[in-house]
Structure 1
Amino acid sequence: MPEDRAQRLEAALDLRWRLPVLRGISTRDLASRVRTFHLAGWSVADLVKAIDRTPDGAPHPHDGARGVRWARGWLVARLAAWLDADGVPLPAPSQVAEACRAAAVERARQRRQQPATAGVPGRRSPGYLACKAALAEARALARH
């Protein structure tokens, strides 16, 4: 995650390289547009996923390869779905994936500690519930 201005400019260059539609925006303007996301711990890979997909994982119906007249507005519209009502970025795709991985590890650990007579444990571990709640919140915010 870019931590200072120089790193954010470098990340914007990387983003422009990965998504040619963003070459219609200056590097400084692009860095400014995604600054909030970087400060929230988002990586360039997270931004690429967010630009291509909605928070619930669905692809956008129109991709950047079909001609975008106003790249800045297109980018702002795509990223708006990833902001809550207060303009704060939702958890990054990699952060959600990490929470889900941690929940899976916790569930596996709990299963190993269960006695054989206890039966199959339910999907109620704190890690699982936290992951499920984070995903539900991100989806609900994306719908509004």
Structure 2
Amino acid sequence: MDTRAGPVPAEGAWPPPPVREPFSPRDAAARRASAETAAHRREVQAALGRRTAPLWPVHATVRPTTARATRQDWKQVRRLAGLELQHHALVLRRISTAYVVAVAEPCFEAGWSVADVLHALDWTPQGVRYTHDAVTGIENPGAWFAARLRAWAHQDGTPMRSVDQRRAAETEQRRAEAIAAAQRHAARRSREQTAGVEDGAAGVVARSQDPADRDRRPFRVRWAAQIAAGRAEASGRAGRQ
């Protein structure tokens, strides 16, 4: 028996141990997400801070200009287009550029431009403007971005024609209609001119058959010739009798 041990203290003599707050995986995930969001913001701000001109033309299709583009060329072009999207849509700066490109990639492959994607963030395919200003109250920018673009997709997931593509198709249709109208007008004028030439030729033939047009001698000469012809015809009949 250890005689060095002191008497057992009475209950309540020592203060209770500190209570540790329960650890929640959700809190840890929230802290990690906040850190990633902050890192994405710093990355995007650093890239846009060096922007002195549009990183990609807003009305141009997102594809390399070279004929033999490599995979790295495609990746770089889409990254520039994604950064240009984040420059105009402030809410997209809260997510990474790679995430923006991943969501918008089907639209880029369908020939959409940066301006088309920005239009889809504010307008429905039916031409109705969203009431939300796309600036405040968005807790999950990635999900919001995907939902706005999903509204412009068919049931099979393929993107619809964008606003720029619709305008280009309408312009081409008006151009084709103008060309067809000009061709119809030219054909009608050609038929009218051909008919006019034929009518003029018929008039010339009719006039050429007129004796007055065939014999342009003075009237007195023609009258004397007719009298002489009549006398000669009468003498001939008398001789035959």
TM-score, normalised relative to structure 2 = 0.46
Matched, 1:2 2:58: no
| Higher RCO (C-alpha under 8 Å, 6+ residues apart) | 1
Determine the C-alpha separation between the residues in 2 that align with 1:72 and 1:46.
18
Structure 1 position 100, deviation (Å) = 0.4
- Aligned partner of 2:92 in structure 1 is 22
- Aligned partner of 1:109 in structure 2 is 179
Change (3 A) 1:115 1:7: closer
Using the aligned pairs only, state the percent identity. Answer: 33
Match of 1:64 among 129, 134, 158: 134
Matched, 1:42 2:42: no
Determine the C-alpha separation between the residues in 2 that align with 1:111 and 1:66.
51
Match of 2:143 among 52, 61, 73: 73
Segment drifting more, 105-114 vs 95-104? 105-114
Determine the C-alpha separation between the residues in 1 that align with 2:158 and 2:170.
21
Structure 1 position 66, deviation (Å) = 3.0
Change (3 A) 1:115 1:10: closer
Structure 1 position 2, deviation (Å) = 2.3
5+ residue gaps, structure 1, are 119-144
- Aligned partner of 2:82 in structure 1 is 12
Determine the C-alpha separation between the residues in 1 that align with 2:159 and 2:135.
26
TM-score, normalised relative to structure 1 = 0.75
SS at match of 2:135: helix
- Aligned partner of 2:166 in structure 1 is 96
Larger Rg: 2
Segments of 4+ moved more than 3 angstroms: none
